[in-house]
Amino acid sequence: MYRSGDDFVTFLIGKEGSEKKFLIHKSFACHYSPILKRVLGSSEESPVVHHIKDTSEEAFSLLYQWIYEQALDDAWDSEVNNQQAAHLIIELYTLAEKLQIPRLQNLAIEYFEEVLSRPIDRIDNLVSYCWENTKAGSPLRRLFVDLQTWDVGKDELVGRVKQMPREVLEDMVLSLKDRCEKQSSSLSMHVRNIADFYANDME
């Protein structure tokens, strides 16, 4: 993948005026992301600079690590509390989804499943972030709908509903209707398979 003399791309991450700079080999960036391949491959600028405003330095740092190592260091999880870890994973997922990197999306989903095994105080904040930064049909949206529908007790759900965006409630109703049509006689047998929420990886 790496070629001798390969150019670097300068990624500026964050809002204008407070950006953080990352250098990534152009061939690596284009190999893993068809979006970046389309944008950077046609660029005649030298050096190539690409600005991503709607993600954090921490989330892009994880993308950077994955591009070069194809793995994520477990240490990043232990350095923050569970709420922060969950939000960081969601940020990473939405970044990978926008750049069309399904393998990283799926890895983030698996990390998120691990985080869900521990208490999260404000899952409504995560839900809002997800719906603001993903499109209809996103596997991450489907996972959140599944969590709210099947893992939350009635009393707790009543409290959460008041905080949920209308789109979330609509997706929950449609999910339940679909489930009823498919499993009308076995609703109590619901079992989640995390692979159901993987992005489509054509490699």
Residue type, 26: K
Q: Provide mean pLDDT across the span 9-24.
A: 93
Q: Provide mean pLDDT across the span 97-110.
A: 96
Q: Provide mean pLDDT across the span 143-169.
A: 79
Task: Select from 44, 8, 4 the least CA-distant residue to 25.
Answer: 8
33/65 same-domain check: no
Q: Whole-angstrom Cα distance, residue 106 to residue 200?
A: 9
Note the pLDDT of residue 139.
95
Query: Band of the pLDDT at 30, cuts 50, 70, 90?
Result: very high
Query: Band of the pLDDT at 78, cuts 50, 70, 90?
Result: low
23/113 same-domain check: no
65/110 same-domain check: yes
Note the pLDDT of residue 186.
54
Name the average pLDDT for the chain.
84
For 81, the domain range is 54-197
28/126 same-domain check: no
pLDDT over threshold 80, residue 26: yes
Note the pLDDT of residue 5.
47
pTM of structure: 0.81
116/185 same-domain check: yes
Domains held by the chain: number: 2
Query: Band of the pLDDT at 4, cuts 50, 70, 90?
Result: very low
